[in-house]
């Protein structure tokens, strides 16, 4: 059954500041959700540049799927889902599994047109989003990391999306802060552009 309302089994919201929040959304197995065109219209697009290193987005871009770039992070942290995009030659299905994300060039790529998600097995997303209608004019930059790293500059926060510190956030880490990740762990780093 196609739905236009997110078929979540559970959703947890972690406030970050007056503008940003983190959402963990667990979707109901077997549900299908159609993300309508223009559903991101309340967020301001960032300067677009084609994806290069994130192949889950780059492959769809190369196949003709149009994208915009926003201050938005989506990271698959559990389960699996099929994302169905429409390219110039018809539908293209892509399987999202833990570790798949939409971030590159400091923002999150979101499809310009309608796309469909089929939730297969305990699919859970961790998303950093700008709250609708909340903006102080600050422009945020995001990075998703999967290996241990050390910050070379100050950040607004580091959020651990998976691993033993899952759902924990360290605020205002300074240069030299160690993002301590084991294999399979994922963290989101937010800084100011």
Per the CB < 8 A criterion, the answer to whether 7 and 27 are in contact is yes
HSE (side-chain half, CA atoms, 13 Å) at 105 = 18
Q: Judge whether 107 lies within some domain.
A: yes
Q: Judge whether 160 lies within some domain.
A: no
C-alpha 193/C-alpha 185 separation (Å) is 25
Query: What are 23's two structure tokens?
Result: 């959402």
Q: Judge whether 28 lies within some domain.
A: yes
CATH number at residue 16: 2.60.120.10
pLDDT of the residue at 1: 44
Q: How many residues does the chain have?
A: 193
Q: 10 Å Cβ neighbour count for 101?
A: 26
Q: Judge whether 184 lies within some domain.
A: no
Q: Judge whether 177 lies within some domain.
A: no
Per-residue pLDDT of 66-118, as tens digits, reads 999 998 999 999 999 999 999 898 999 999 999 999 999 999 999 999 999 99
- The residue range of the domain holding 14 is 2-136
pLDDT of the residue at 193: 84
pLDDT of the residue at 78: 96
Q: Judge whether 70 lies within some domain.
A: yes
Helix, strand, or coil here: 23?
strand
Q: Judge whether 62 lies within some domain.
A: yes
pLDDT of the residue at 74: 96
pLDDT of the residue at 5: 65
Is the predicted pLDDT of residue 11 greater than 70, yes or no?
Answer: yes
Whole-model pTM: value is 0.92
Per-residue pLDDT of 141-188, as tens digits, reads 999 999 999 999 999 999 999 999 999 999 999 999 999 999 999 999
C-alpha 36, offset from chain centre: 17
The tally of domains found in the chain comes to 1
Per the CB < 8 A criterion, the answer to whether 125 and 99 are in contact is no
- Confidence at 127, pLDDT banded by 50, 70, 90: very high
What is the four-CA torsion angle of 60, 120, 77, 55, rounded to 10 degrees? -20
Helix, strand, or coil here: 124?
strand
Element housing 42 (H / E): none
C-alpha 155/C-alpha 189 separation (Å) is 7
C-alpha 143/C-alpha 156 separation (Å) is 12
Q: Judge whether 178 lies within some domain.
A: no
Per-residue pLDDT of 21-35, as tens digits, reads 999 999 999 999 988
C-alpha 112/C-alpha 66 separation (Å) is 6
């Amino acid at each position: 059954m196609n739905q236009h309302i997110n078929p979540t089994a559970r959703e947890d919201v972690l406030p970050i500041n007056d503008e940003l929040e983190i959402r963990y959304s667990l979707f109901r197995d077997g549900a299908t959700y159609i993300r309508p065109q223009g559903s991101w219209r309340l967020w301001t697009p960032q300067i677009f540049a084609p994806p290069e290193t994130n192949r889950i987005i780059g492959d769809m871009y190369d196949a003709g799927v149009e994208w915009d770039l926003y201050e938005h992070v989506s990271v698959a942290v559990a389960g699996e889902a099929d994302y169905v995009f429409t390219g110039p030659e018809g539908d293209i299905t892509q399987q999202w599994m833990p570790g798949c994300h939409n971030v590159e060039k400091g923002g999150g790529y979101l499809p310009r047109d309608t796309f469909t998600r089929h939730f297969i097995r305990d699919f859970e997303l961790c998303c950093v989003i700008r709250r609708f209608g909340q903006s102080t004019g600050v422009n945020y930059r995001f990075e998703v990391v999967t290996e241990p790293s050390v910050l070379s500059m100050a950040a607004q926060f580091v959020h651990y999306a998976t691993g033993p510190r899952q759902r924990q956030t360290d605020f205002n880490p300074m240069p030299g802060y160690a993002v301590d990740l084991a294999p399979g762990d994922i963290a989101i780093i937010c800084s100011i552009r």
